[in-house]
Structure 1
Amino acid sequence: MSTPLSDAALDQLFREARTYNGYLDRPVNEEQLHQLWDLLKMGPTSANQLPARIIWCTSPEARERLAAHVSASNKPKLHSAPVCAIVAMDIDFHEQLPWLFPHADAKSWFANDEELRKLSALRNSTLQGAYLILAARALGLDCGPMSGFDNEAVDKDFLADHPRWKSNFLCTIGYGDRSSIFQRSPRPDFDTFNSIL
């Protein structure tokens, strides 16, 4: 576990990986989605909260429904992607803590503080969304994380059966079309945004 990854692996996960705006006509199957989950669930969250709830939009009908709620610039991404994940968060994630974090009475930490739950759900579901992106890249897939959508409309259309789930962000997944990416935006050197005390 302590051996550094190869340069090729680091390139695939970070240095050469890009955000895609279009995808090749190549499917992503259900087994791959299970593989994604089995990797991303291993990433750390506070007290093993695991608040992310993912809706995998794989059918043309589901992606078309979702496209109705995104900005005009995001519609082509959705139309070309074989999968778009709605990364949502469960505001009542604490109900699962007795079995997810049996080491302490973690449920009681959140039971009477919804604002704390919302903050923690947002923070930790965002972490899980980042793990999703890295898991996809590790499995040879490409991603296009995005905001630019109507959260309330997505929640009403896709999460109505779970009123305590709220959408965080969207992420297209597939085999990226290299012609769809922009020139890489600047990535600053360490000293620009970092301090060591």
Structure 2
Amino acid sequence: MTTSLRPLDGPALETLFTGARTANSFAATTVTDGELAAIWDLAKWPPTAANVQPLRVVFVREEDGRSRVLSHMDEGNVAKTSSAPVVAILALDTRFHDHIPTVLPFRPELREVFAGDDSMRENVGSFNGALQAGYFVMAVRALGLAAGPMAGFDRKALDNDFFPDGRWESILVVNIGHPSEDAWFDRLPRLDATETVKWA
């Protein structure tokens, strides 16, 4: 691993940050299995606390699965989701700590620490699952696809449908595809640094 970090160039910064938008509609262009695998192969690398990696992903592309997802979406998100060639359900594995001996081999005993402390396990899982969900959206954009992340869905009903054993719990639904011509809303304002940043 290199010890020096290289800044991204202007187009890369635009893709990931300054030009990043939530896609509201998608072209009919197919998203391949290889592209979806590449998203996860990129999103899995950024760091999480104690390397716990609690995020899990279900890629939904078949009509039956898509119909099931649509039945749980809020009304305002149905058209967006129906236009996307792929929908990803991002979920938290509530038993992420079972993998501690694999992902943190020099501290395998941490599995039992998490198992014995519900509050710590839930806090670590929730925060790092959300962190990884952000990485996932960035990976979609980094690979030249549009992302439409949404929290507007019936979480309990979707979980009962897709994760009936209760181990995985949904965090976010992300539409994935190539943007249509009218995919973007106008850019909304951002708060100025005078409102959001302090120096100490």
> Same fold, TM exceeding 0.5?
yes
The CA deviation string for residues 37-66 of structure 1, in whole angstroms up to 9 with x for no partner, is 110000111111110111111112211110
1:91 deviates by 1.1
Matches within 5 A, 1:61-76: 61-76=64-79
The aligned counterpart of 1:159 is 163
Rounded Cα–Cα distance in structure 1 between residues aligned with 2:180 and 2:136: 20
Rounded Cα–Cα distance in structure 2 between residues aligned with 1:124 and 1:178: 34
The aligned counterpart of 2:113 is 109
Matches within 5 A, 1:6-25: 6-25=9-28
Q: Which of 144, 147, 164 does residue 143 from structure 1 map onto? A: 147
Matches within 5 A, 1:31-110: 31-104=34-107, 105-110=109-114
* Secondary structure, aligned partner of 1:70: coil
Structure 1 spans left out of the alignment, 5+ residues: none
TM-score w.r.t. structure 2 length?
A: 0.94
The answer on 1:29 being equivalent to 2:32 is yes
Q: Taking structure 1 as reference, are residues 127 and 178 closer, same or farther at Cα in structure 2, changes over 3 Å only? A: farther
The CA deviation string for residues 114-169 of structure 1, in whole angstroms up to 9 with x for no partner, is 22212211111111111111111111001000011111101011111x42111111
- Give the share of equivalent positions with the same residue, in percent: 37
Choose 12-21 or 181-190, whichever is displaced more.
Answer: 181-190
* Secondary structure, aligned partner of 1:179: coil
Number of aligned residue pairs: 196
Query: Which runs of structure 1 show a deviation greater than 2 angstroms over 4 or more consecutive aligned residues?
Result: none
The answer on 1:179 being equivalent to 2:174 is no
TM-score w.r.t. structure 1 length?
A: 0.95
